Amino acid sequence: MTAASRQMKLGAFLWATGHHIAAWRHPKAHVTAGIDIDHYIQLARTAEAAKFDMVFCEDAAGLREANVAISSQTSRSIGFEPISLLSALAVQTSRIGLVSTASTSYNEPYGLARTFLSLDHLSGGRGGWNLVTSASPIEAANFGSTGLRPHADRYQRAREFAEVVTGLWRGKPGGASGSGHDSQSFSVRDPLDLPRSPQGAPVLVQAGASDVGRDLAARTADVVFTAAQTFEEAKAFYDDLKGRLAAYGREPDDIKIMPGVAPVVAETTTQAQEKYEELQELIPDDVGVALLSSYLSIADLWRYPIDGPLPELPPSEGMQSRQALVIEQSRRDNLSIRQLARHFAGARGHWRIVGTAAQVADELQARFEGGAADGFNVMPSYFPGELDAFATLVVPELQRRGLFRKDYEGRTLRDHLGLKRPM
Amino acid sequence: MDNGATMHLAVSPLPGIAEPSPAAEPDFSLLARFVQRAEAAGVDLVIFADSAPASGSDVATMPFEATTLVAALATVTSRIGLVAAASTVAHQPYNLARRFASLDIISHGRAGWNATMAQAPREAANFSRPEGFSGDDFRRRSEEYVGIVQGLWQGWDKDALKFDKIGGRFHDPEKMHLLDHKGEFFSVRGPLNVARSPQDRPVLVLSGLSASDMDIAARTADVVLLDDEPIESAKTRHDDLKLRVAACGRDPDAVKVLMNVSPVIDDRPAVTADRLEDLFRSKSCDGFNMQMPTKLSALDSFVDLVLPALRRRGLFRESYRGTNLRSHLGLAGGGDL
């Protein structure tokens, strides 16, 4: 396939003031993003004008950080609930896809299927659901659970949940069997009371990268969002996941793999580096360590010497694949807790590129053409400035290279992503 | 000039009776025009039903889920209140509280939740509760649920967010409060991860009330929707509810009673206006919830023929007095009354 015919897919991952943990403190960050709908409308329009495939929203049904002394130094504790946010954006945009995260642990499949189908209708076929299983005990405490479900149980429920939802989207009552669904986890009697999706069914995105997570993605997902620091990690993940599709009767191209990328882009390398340093300087140590702790699912990382190495860690019921990534990075680069915390605080385990538009485009192109990605979920450091920078500097560079569309060709998110319309 | 009138008016577009649309797809633009027309007429609020399969029939009712619809409508309107029905069976209380808190910020303080105290037949069977709930269980569960949602809506103090970039203080830790609810049906720690409502908290509209639900309404509701009744019994019911509100230590005026009416206006608008005037002046209610087909023609009949009569008689205000739903309804917390 030539570079001109195979087009990169791009998501604009919107998150309040920005993906950098200290983004909100940046002089140019819009600090009231979490209570300003007009800010989000503007971001979605910027992404649409740049021909992004979609905007993407994360979600957690609870605070990100239990320690209020830490959370009060970040902007993560408040924001819009994403389904209502994207429903508002649906009628303020006309072409861009709208994908929101929602949990299989704290929803019921009938309600979730119906809500996302409604978003899909409001947007004329541009909706998508990012399936997560929720690994946070903070969320669990908002839903009557005494503890987090074990990883394997969460994925068992998620698999069944996805089956029921995709069945309902295809007009079947309660899942694939067509005659209602009954199991330990769910019972669903009726078909949805809304018309069929304008794109056949909303797009199903998935992010879990553990072994069971990959199997679930291979079985059900249209798009996979992943975190990979190096080309080798990204390539290994890409080949592994595409290799699992045949077992489910699917083609490699039926899934688009879009790793997260956290670029810091400027006119010159020096300016980009300065911009990055400026953000890093704004991270308080306790916030960086707390963020790292939550990724490692251990509450007391702050007890260890901050200039010493990461301690040995017990296996966790949290995000297993992310945890492996953090540990690998710390060993590989021989980083102290402080160094690792700062490093991860900025990009949350995602791939960081600091440079000019040409340098960023080079890196994206290498992974795209090297068979390590079908596209990227772009995670701007702060909003709106860094989304603007990507849209005005990097996108035109990708377009010049024939890697990214100059205009939308279709109407629906499935059209943009080159996905089959489901039967 | 403000005429000092105090009647409140809601419009409820009935699901399943939409204007035939040339496109087979559900038509957002029709609903947008409908609500914009109601806003131009100064109506307090529009209430959207949510038709999760009540009957098990396959007839498409309202073509959108109500909370997503309200989010979209919020961006194409600026004054009118927007209330969505959402079921306590279909949503977990934490998720529902978040959704409405978010709608309230999207709409700049114009959102409300319509909770029904009546169980929808068959609904539980689609939400992994094939056995449903007994009437008593459902009532106790609903009250607990409403209390959780209202508690979560108050987890952040009005001045909790500091946005202090230099000092590194995004919010004041003292002004964020856990709910720590542990009840018969739910346990919810909180707080919500959505900021405080611009109108203090979203408006709670209760409907589907049986006689035994009146104390729950008196304790929790901002607005109650009651079925159409002759003046005498409506007045008795109204007075009884207001006494219960007072008995809870609340201002009787803190709960607005709106009577559901489905007028046939076309021929004799004065008759409709007379009836509304009689009910209102007898203090049988604080206003009306006008149930009508989702048709511009039906809404036009009401706003062109009945509303002017109500205004001439000094019963309905000439225009909006505030910017949020609580201020339209004369409820505390509206801020800009």
Task: Tell me the per-residue pLDDT of A225-279, one tens digit each, with 9 for 90 and over.
Answer: 999 889 999 999 999 999 999 999 999 999 999 999 999 999 999 999 999 999 9
Residue A98 has pLDDT above 70, yes or no: yes
DSSP annotation of A259:
E
DSSP B306-319: IHHHHHHTT-S-SS
* Identity at A238, one-letter amino acid code: Y
Cβ distance B72 to A90 less than 8 Å, yes or no, reads: yes
Q: In chain B, which residues have their Cβ closer than 8 Å to the Cβ of A62? A: 94, 189, 193
Residue of B58, B64, B65, B100 to mutate for A, most A C-beta atoms under 10 A: B65
Measure B60 CA to nearest chain A CA, in Å.
6
d(CA B33, CA B77): 10
Separation between Cα atoms, residue A337 and residue A155, nearest integer Å: 31
**B54: pLDDT confidence band, cut at 50, 70 and 90?**
very low
Question: What is the helix, strand, coil percentage profile of chain B, to 5?
Answer: 35, 20, 45
Q: Report yes or no: B181 and B188 within 8 Å, Cβ to Cβ.
A: yes
Closest by CA position to B115, among listed B229, B222, B16: B222
**Quick check: is B77 in a domain?**
yes
Looking at residue B331, the DSSP 8-state letter turns out to be -
Handedness of CA A315, A321, A324, A326 (dihedral sign): negative
Q: Quick check: helix, strand or coil at residue A315?
A: coil
How far does CA A41 lie from the centroid of its chain?
Answer: 19
pLDDT band at B37 (very low <50, low <70, confident <90, very high): very high
pLDDT at B190 (0 to 100): 96
State the burial class of residue A147 (Cβ atoms within 10 Å of its Cβ: 0-12, 13-18, 19+).
exposed
Distance between CA A70 and CA B134 in Å, rounded?
A: 45
- β-partners of residue B85 are B114
Residue B126 is part of which domain span?
Answer: 8-132+201-329
Label residues B260-291 b or e (16+ Cβ within 10 Å = b): bbebebeeebeebbeebbebbeeebbbbbbbb
- Rounding to the nearest 10 degrees, give the CA dihedral for residues B145, B149, B150, B151: 100
Average pLDDT over residues A376-382: 96
Q: What is the distance between the alpha carbons of residues B200 and B333, in angstroms, rounded to a whole number?
A: 5
- To the nearest whole angstrom, how far is the Cα of B254 from the nearest Cα of chain A? 27
CB neighbours of residue B81 within 10 Å: 32
Positive or negative torsion for Cα A152, A156, A158, A162: positive
Q: Is the pLDDT of residue B60 over 80?
A: no
Number of domains composing chain B: 1
Mean pLDDT of chain A: 91
Mean pLDDT score, B112-116: 97
For residue A3, what pLDDT band results from cuts at 50, 70 and 90?
very low
Indicate if the pLDDT at residue A369 is higher than 50: yes
- Cβ distance A385 to A265 under 8 Å? no
Tell me what the mean pLDDT of segment A217-229 comes to. Answer: 94
Q: What fold is seen in the domain A9-263+350-417?
A: TIM Barrel (3.20.20)
Q: How many CB atoms lie within 10 A of CB B28?
A: 20
Query: Which tens digits make up the pLDDT trace of A20-48?
Result: 989 999 999 999 999 999 999 999 999 99
Among the partner residues B24, B71, B94, nearest to A143 by beta-carbon distance: B94
Place of tokens 């079947």: A172
Please report which residue ranges of chain B form alpha helices under DSSP H.
Answer: 28-40, 66-74, 93-106, 123-126, 135-152, 214-220, 231-247, 269-281, 296-301, 307-312, 325-329
Cβ-contact A295, A326 below 8 angstroms: yes
Cβ-based contacts under 8 A for chains A and B = 196
In Å, how far is A362's CA from the nearest CA of chain B? 34
Taking phi over 0 as left and psi of -120 to 50 as alpha, with beta for the rest, A62 belongs to left
R_g of chain A, CA atoms, integer Å: 20
In chain A, CATH 3.20.20.30 sits at 9-263+350-417
Amino acid at B192: L
- For residue B39, give the CATH number of its domain: 3.20.20.30
Confidence of residue A317 (pLDDT cuts 50, 70, 90): low
> What are the binding residues of A for FMN?
59, 101, 151, 155, 210
Nearest CA in chain B to A102: B95
* A144–B188 CB contact, under 8 Å: yes
Assign B57 a pLDDT band (cuts: 50, 70, 90).
very low
User: Which two three-digit tokens encode residue B119?
Assistant: 């169980």
Query: What ipTM does the predicted assembly reach?
Result: 0.95
Is the backbone peptide bond immediately before B191 cis, with ω within 30 degrees of 0? yes
Contact A54, A11 (CB under 8 A): yes
Neighbours of A272 (CB within 10 A): 23
Percent helix, strand, coil in chain A, to 5, is: 45, 15, 45
CB contact under 8 A, A72 and B172: yes
- Is B56's CB within 8 Å of A194's CB? no
Tokens coding B117 = 């105290």
The verdict on residue B192 lying in a domain is no
Whether B165 maps to a domain, the answer reads no
**pLDDT tens digits along B194-220:** 999 999 999 999 999 999 999 999 999
Q: What is the pLDDT of residue B214?
A: 96
Quote the CA–CA distance of A34 and A18 in Å, as a whole number.
Answer: 11
Check residue B130 and give its pLDDT: 85
Residue B317 clears pLDDT 50, i.e. is over it? yes
Q: Could you tell me if residue B159 is inside a domain? A: no
Other CB atoms within a 10 A radius of the CB of residue B225 amount to 25
* Nearest-neighbour CA in chain A from B71: distance (Å): 5
CA distance A66 to A294: 10
In a domain, B173, yes or no: no
- Domain-embedded: residue B41: yes
Asked if the bond preceding B26 is cis, omega within 30° of 0, the reply is no
Per residue in A115-139, pLDDT (tens digit) is 999 999 999 999 999 999 988 889 9
Distance of CA A337 to the CA centre of its chain: 25
Q: Which of B69, B90, B95 sits opposite A106 (nearest CB)?
A: B95
Partners of A187 on chain B (C-beta within 8 Å) are 125-126, 128-130
**Structural domain includes residue B213:** yes
Asked if A88 lies within 8 A of B122 by C-beta distance, the reply is: no
B183 in a structural domain: no
